[in-house]
Structure 1
Amino acid sequence: MDQKVDWSQLPFELWPKIGKQFDHHIDVLRFRSVCKLFRSSVPSSLPNSPSFPLQIPHPLNLSLNCYLYQSTVYLIEPTDASFNSNLQPLPPSSSSSKGWLIKVQESKDQPLSLLSPISDRKLSYPLSINNTSLMPLNLLNYRAIQLCKSYTIEKPIRFSSSVHKVVFYPNSPWNSVEDCVSCYIFEEGKLGIMKHGDKKWKRVDDKNFYYDDVIVFKGQFYVTDKWGTISWIDVSSLRLIQFSPPLCGFGNKKHLVESCGSLYVVDRYYESSENMRRNYGGRRREPDEVVECFKIYKLDEEWGKWVDVKNLSDRAFILGQSCNFSVSTKELIGYEGNCIYYRDSFDVLMYNLDDYKITTVDFNPCIDKTLWCHAPWLRC
Structure 2
Amino acid sequence: MAPPDWSQLHRDILQHISKTLNSEFYQIRFRSVCSSWRSSIPKNHHHHFNLPLKFPIPSDDDSNSNSNSNFHLSKRNVFLITPPPNQKQTLHPWLIKIGPDSKQQTHLWHPLSRDKKLPFHFHDVIDFNQHRVIHLGTEFVFGDLPSSLYRNNIEKIVVFDADTWHIGKGKVSYSVLLTIHVSGKLAICRCGDERWTVIPGMATPYDDVCVFNGRPFAVDSNGQTVAVGLDLSLEFVAEPVFGGNKKFLVESNGELLLVDKYMISVQHEGFLDDHGDGVGNYEIGFGRKRAVKFDVFRLDSMRKKWVEVRNLKDRVLVLGEGCAFSVLALDLGMKNGNCVIYKDEAFRHVHVTGLGVRVFCLDKHRISPLVDVPHYNKLFWPPPEWLKLRW
TM superposition score normalised by structure 1? 0.73
Aligned-pair CA distance for 1:169? 1.9
Alignment of 1:372 onto 2:383 = yes
Alpha carbons of structure 1 residues 63 and 334: separation in structure 2 relative to 1, 3 Å: farther
**2:203 aligned residue (195, 208, 211):** 208
Instruction: Verify the 8 A CA contact 1:317 1:325 in the aligned structure 2.
Output: yes
Q: Aligned equivalents of 2:33 and 2:340: distance in 1?
A: 38
Equivalent residue letter for 2:298: K
Equivalent residue letter for 1:219: G
Alpha carbons of structure 1 residues 106 and 377: separation in structure 2 relative to 1, 3 Å: farther
Aligned-pair CA distance for 1:191? 1.0
SS in structure 2 of the partner of residue 161 of structure 1: helix
In structure 2, the residue matched to 1:40 is none
- Most deviating of 250-259 and 186-195: 186-195
**2:95 aligned residue (79, 101, 108):** 101
Q: Which runs of 5+ in 1 are unaligned?
A: 1-18, 36-45, 84-89, 128-133
Instruction: Verify the 8 A CA contact 1:164 1:184 in the aligned structure 2.
Output: yes
Aligned-pair CA distance for 1:309? 0.9
Q: Aligned equivalents of 1:53 and 1:113: distance in 2?
A: 22
Count of aligned positions: 329
Q: Aligned equivalents of 2:89 and 2:381: distance in 1?
A: 12
Q: Aligned equivalents of 1:179 and 1:267: distance in 2?
A: 33
Q: Which runs of 5+ in 2 are unaligned?
A: 1-17, 35-44, 60-65, 163-170, 273-281, 349-355
Aligned-pair CA distance for 1:217? 0.4
Alpha carbons of structure 1 residues 103 and 334: separation in structure 2 relative to 1, 3 Å: farther
In structure 1, the residue matched to 2:77 is 72
Aligned-pair CA distance for 1:54? 3.5
In structure 2, the residue matched to 1:57 is 56
In structure 2, the residue matched to 1:292 is 292
In structure 2, the residue matched to 1:141 is 130
Alignment of 1:318 onto 2:342 = no
Alpha carbons of structure 1 residues 177 and 137: separation in structure 2 relative to 1, 3 Å: farther
Alpha carbons of structure 1 residues 158 and 72: separation in structure 2 relative to 1, 3 Å: closer
Structure 1 stretches of at least 4 aligned residues deviating more than 6 Å after TM superposition? 19-22, 31-35
How is 1:158-237 mapped onto 2 (pairs within 5 angstroms)?
Answer: 158-162=148-152, 163-170=154-161, 179-235=174-230, 237=231
Q: Aligned equivalents of 1:247 and 1:207: distance in 2?
A: 12
Aligned-pair CA distance for 1:166? 0.7
Q: Percent identity?
A: 30
Q: Aligned equivalents of 1:177 and 1:114: distance in 2?
A: 34
SS in structure 1 of the partner of residue 257 of structure 2: strand
Alpha carbons of structure 1 residues 334 and 48: separation in structure 2 relative to 1, 3 Å: closer
Aligned-pair CA distance for 1:79? 4.9
Alignment of 1:155 onto 2:116 = no
Which whole-Å deviations, capped at 9, do the CAs of 1:4-31 have from their partners, x for residues lacking one?
xxxxxxxxxxxxxxx9998544246658
TM superposition score normalised by structure 2? 0.72
RMSD after superposition: 4.0
Aligned-pair CA distance for 1:334? 7.2
Equivalent residue letter for 1:374: E
Instruction: Verify the 8 A CA contact 2:76 2:98 in the aligned structure 1.
Output: yes
In structure 2, the residue matched to 1:342 is 342
Equivalent residue letter for 2:109: L
Aligned-pair CA distance for 1:370? 7.8
In structure 2, the residue matched to 1:247 is 240
Greater strand share, structure number: 2
Alpha carbons of structure 1 residues 27 and 170: separation in structure 2 relative to 1, 3 Å: farther
Instruction: Verify the 8 A CA contact 1:179 1:196 in the aligned structure 2.
Output: yes
SS in structure 1 of the partner of residue 208 of structure 2: strand
Aligned-pair CA distance for 1:145? 2.4
